[in-house]
Structure formats: structure tokens, C-alpha cells
Structure 1
């Protein structure tokens, strides 16, 4: 099997809530997502999606996805997309760094691999573990009482895990964490996610002030060294996210005992091929995992569902359904939340079908 054509689409994904806010005054109203369609000489096709969280969250930006694909795609024509590890290594050889550029291509190759094998991607990633995957809801940064009210609303929809966007003024963040924890059940999970937003002294103030609460602390500071210092200052369960951007960084963090849990963002690592590798390294070590991505629609949500549902349930902290945040459907048969949980599709490949009118005409075609 050989790649015959690669088509690239640009899609805007507006938010149901109108705006998403996180640390440092950062916000996004509409997400700029890139969809990739790979067609083969045997009639099979695969889709992938990459959607950075704006240009100021990670070293990635929406137009950069398409610029990078323009560099890669012509050199992948004629290759076998079912050789996912070979394809991943070739992309690394052709373009140093920029993993978020490679992710949509990698996921599309997994979609083709699953279809060619007649198996859902979840089976190829290790097998479906459990009936469903528990989801978290990200709570955009606002006043404490507004955030608590939104948590109550989402709890009524079935969510039992909440990722609270903090990383602002430490006194206000302490109020936010207390206000939300006070109205949750003891079995509910609360993650205070600073998204690198606190200075070291502020992070230590916050973790001290909430030390008696049942709450996870996620990525308090920008640098790994600062986060490690906060980790040594608290007994609360500790999550790393933004700093975990490569296998080498994973190995360093494991050696330093720097975290109890890790957020695996598929596009930050370069796609399902490398995300699976990181997951399979961390699981035997007892590290809990949140399986997610930077953002996206139906295609990203499907890839998350397959990786999350194939992750051992004992290691699975939570996951997310980004397609429930946005107003624009990209694919039919995409996974949907049911009472705070979702399942990986059971059809071959990603198990979803691109809606042509949803993506419009391609902005680039390579053949």
C-alpha cells in the first residue's frame, strides 16, 4: 500500500461557551484546526487532526501545522502508511522538532492501519480496557463563584472529574480551589491546573494553603526545575504536563520522581505512535495518566478515545471529549460523552467518517 494523495483542510472551531481562559490572561474564542486526509493506491483513506491551543500556550501555532505539513507531505508520497513507526522516524528525519506538525499525519496513518487490518485502533494500541473512559471537564478561569457554579452545572451533566484553570493571583486561586472542592462529592476528582502560570513563591503559597484538601496540583510553574521544587514542598498528588514533551523528558522526570501523574497530549509528542510509547513506559511504573491533546474536534476526540480506552484502567486518571466544547462537527460516528464517560469507536480504524461539507475544500493537495 502506498500514499497517493495528502489533502489538508483548515477548519474553525468556535466554542459553545464563547471563550476559553487560562493562566496569564490567555484566551481563545475560536480554535484553528488542521485536518489531514491521506488517500492510498488501494482505496483506503485515513484522517487526522492537529489543533494548537492558540500561539501562546506551547511552541506551536495553527498556521505552523500547515506550513510544516507543506514541508513534509511531498516527501511522504509513495510511502506505506501502515508502517507507522517507519513513518514516524521518517518525519523526524525530514523535519527536526515540531511534533505537533506530524501528529495529524501520524493519526491518519493509524486510521489506515486499522482499516487495512479490519480492527479499531483501540485494539492495535493494546486492547479495550473496561467499559468506558472517565472524562474531565476543563473549567475556564473566571471568578471563584462563577467557576463553582459551572462545576455544579457540569456535575449535573454527569462529569465527576474537573480540571480547574488556576495560575493567576494566588489568593484568588486559593478561593477558586476551596469554592469548587467544597461543593464536590468525596469521590469527585479535582485538578488545580496552573498551566505554568505561578511564580515559584506563589505556587508554594497555594499548595500550602490547600494542603488539607483533596486536590491534584498540575504544572504549577513554567520550568521543570521550579515544578520539581514545588513537588518537594507538598504531599498533594502532582501532575506534570507542559514540561513532558519528549521521551527524554519523561525519563528525566521518572528518575527525579517529579510527578505522580502525567498529561499525555497526543500532538505534543507527535502523534499516537510516540504517545503510545510514552504511555507504555509510564504504566508499569505506576504513574497515572490523563490522555488528551492540546485541543480539537471530532477527529482529535476519536484519537484520544482510542489511546485512553486502551490504557490500563488502573493507570487511567481521566481523559477528555473536546468535541463537546465546540460547535462544529467534523465527523460522523465520533465518540460522544454519556454521563461523564466515553468509549472508543468499535469500527475499523478511528471508526469515524469525515463530513466533507464540514471541512470544505482543501487548502493544500499533494500527490
Structure 2
């Protein structure tokens, strides 16, 4: 099998809630997502999606996805998409860094591998380890009362895990954490995610002020070193996200006891090939994961579901159903939330079919 053509579409994904707010005064109303198609001489096509969380969250941005694809695509025409190792080697030789731009190529090749072998991607990633994957709901940064009210609403939809967007004023964040924990059931999980937004002294104040609560602290400061400093000052369970950007940082974090949980974002690390490596390192080291991505729609949600379903339940802290946050459906066959859980399709590949009427005209085509 050989790659004959690579196409890409740009699609806007508006939010049902209207706006998503996180640390540093950052917010977004419409996500800019890129859908990728890899065509082959066998007649099979593979699909993927990449959607950065704006331009101020990670070293990634929507236009960079499409610019990176334009750079990479000519080097991949004629390559065997089922040889995942060679595909990733070619991409790394053609473009240094920019893992988020490489991720949709890698994921689309996994989709093709599944279709070519008649297997769902989760089977190729290690087999079904759980049937239904528990989801978390991200709660956009607002006033303590507004955030508590949103959690109450999402609890009624079956969610039992909540990621609270903090990382603002420390006094406000202390109130946010107290107000939301108060309305949750004892069995519900609450994660206070600062998204690198606190300075060290602010983070120290917050973890001290909520030390008597059942809450996880996530990515309090900008750097690994600052965050680990806060880790040493609290007995609360600790999550790292932005600073765990590949296998090297993961190995360091494991060796230095830097975290109890990580957020494993597929596009942040370069696709399913590298995400699987990190997932397996976490499992072997006893580190649970939230399996997710930076953002996206139906196709991103499908990729998340396959990686999560092939992860032992004990080590799958939670996952994300991004397609439930938006107002636009871009593919059929994607996972759908049922009582706070989702599952991956049993169809071959990712199990999705893009809606080309919604996607419109391709913005990139290389053959």
C-alpha cells in the first residue's frame, strides 16, 4: 500500500456554552480544527483531526497544523502508511519538532492500518481493556457560584469527574475550589487545573488553603521545576499536563516522583504511536492517565476513545468527549456520551466517516 494523496480541511467548531475560559485571561469561542485525509493506491483512506486550544496554551496553533502538513506531505507521497515507524521517521527528518502537525498524519495511518486489517484501532493498540470509559467535564473559569451551578448540571448528565479551570486570582481560586467541592458527592472527583497560571507563591497559598479538601492539583505553574516545588509542599494528589510533552519528560517525571497522574494529549506528543509508548510507560510505572487531546470534534473524540479503551481501567483516570462540547458534527460513527461514559467503535479503523458536506472544500491537497 502506498500514499497517493494527502488532503486537509479547515472547520470551525463553535461551543455550546459560547465561551471557554482558562488561566491567564485566555478564552475561545470557536475552535479552528483541521481534518486530514490520507488516500492510498488500495482505495482505502485514513482520517484524523487536530485542533489546538488556541495559540496561547501550548507551542501549537491552528495555522501551524496546516503549514506543517504542507511541509510534510511531499515527503510522504509514495510511502507505506502501514509502516508507522517509517512514517514517523520520515516526518522527523522532514520537520524538526512540531509534533502537533505530525499527529494527524500518524493517526490517519492508524485508521488505515485498522481498515487494512479489518480491526478497530483499539485492538491494534493492545486490545479492549475496558468497555466503557469514564469521562471528565471541564468547567470553564467563571465565578465560584457559576462554576458550582455548571457542575450541578453536568452531574445530572452522568459525569462524576470534573476539571475545574483555575489559575486566576488565588483568592478567587480558593473560593472556586471550596464552592464546587461542597456540592459534589463524596465519590465524585474534582481536579483544580491551573493550566500553568499560578506563580509559585500563589500556588503555595492555594494548596495550603484547600489542604483539607478532596481535590487534585493540576499543573500549578509554568515550568516543571516550579510545579515540582509545589508538589513537595502538599499531600494532595498531583497531576502534570503541559510540561509532560514526550517520553523524555515522562521518564524524568516518573524517576523524580513528580506526579501521581498525567494528562496524555495525543496531538501534543505527536500522535497515537508516541501516545501508546507513553501510555505503556505509565502503566508499567503505575501512573494513571487522563487520555485526551488539546481539543477537537468527532474524529479527535474517536481517537481518544480507542486509546482509552485499550488502556486498563485502573490506569485510565478519565477521558474526554470533546464532540459533546460543540455544536457541529463533522463525522458519523463517533463515540457518544451515555451516562458520563463513552466507548470506541468496533468497526475497523477509527470507525468514523467524515461529513464532507460539512467540511466543504479542501484547503490543502498534495499528490
**TM-score of Structure 1 vs Structure 2, range by shorter chain:** over 0.9
Alpha-carbon distance, 1:149 to partner: 0.1
The answer to whether the 8 A contact 2:75-2:91 is kept is: no
SS at match of 1:13: strand
Alpha-carbon distance, 1:128 to partner: 1.0
> What is the match of residue 347 of structure 2?
347
SS at match of 1:300: helix
> What is the match of residue 226 of structure 1?
226
How is 1:94-173 mapped onto 2 (pairs within 5 angstroms)?
94-173=94-173
Deviations 1:274-327 (A, max 9, x none): 000001011111101000000000000000000011111111100010000011
Once structures 1 and 2 are overlaid, which stretch shifts more, 126-135 or 196-205?
A: 126-135
> What is the match of residue 289 of structure 1?
289
> What is the match of residue 241 of structure 2?
241
Q: Distance in 1 between matches of 2:94 and 2:124?
A: 26
How is 1:281-360 mapped onto 2 (pairs within 5 angstroms)?
281-360=281-360
Q: Distance in 1 between matches of 2:111 and 2:200?
A: 43
Q: Distance in 2 between matches of 1:213 and 1:127?
A: 37
Tell whether 2:42 aligns with 1:42. yes
Q: Distance in 2 between matches of 1:356 and 1:192?
A: 38
Ranges in structure 1 where 5+ consecutive residues have no aligned partner: none
Alpha-carbon distance, 1:92 to partner: 1.1
Q: Count the aligned residue pairs.
A: 367
Q: Distance in 2 between matches of 1:361 and 1:141?
A: 35
SS at match of 1:314: helix
Q: Distance in 1 between matches of 2:359 and 2:85?
A: 28
> What is the match of residue 267 of structure 2?
267
Alpha-carbon distance, 1:109 to partner: 0.3
Deviations 1:9-39 (A, max 9, x none): 1001000001000001000010000110111
> What is the match of residue 196 of structure 1?
196
The answer to whether the 8 A contact 2:82-2:109 is kept is: yes
Alpha-carbon distance, 1:358 to partner: 1.3
Ranges in structure 2 where 5+ consecutive residues have no aligned partner: none
Alpha-carbon distance, 1:88 to partner: 1.2
Alpha-carbon distance, 1:52 to partner: 0.4
> What is the match of residue 362 of structure 1?
362
The answer to whether the 8 A contact 2:298-2:322 is kept is: yes
Alpha-carbon distance, 1:355 to partner: 0.7
Alpha-carbon distance, 1:84 to partner: 1.2
SS at match of 2:127: coil
Q: Distance in 1 between matches of 2:288 and 2:8?
A: 35
Tell whether 2:212 aligns with 1:205. no
Tell whether 2:83 aligns with 1:83. yes
- Runs of 4+ displaced beyond 6 Å: none
- CA RMSD between the two structures: 0.6
Alpha-carbon distance, 1:161 to partner: 0.4
SS at match of 1:159: coil
Alpha-carbon distance, 1:147 to partner: 0.1
Alpha-carbon distance, 1:131 to partner: 2.0
Tell whether 2:277 aligns with 1:277. yes
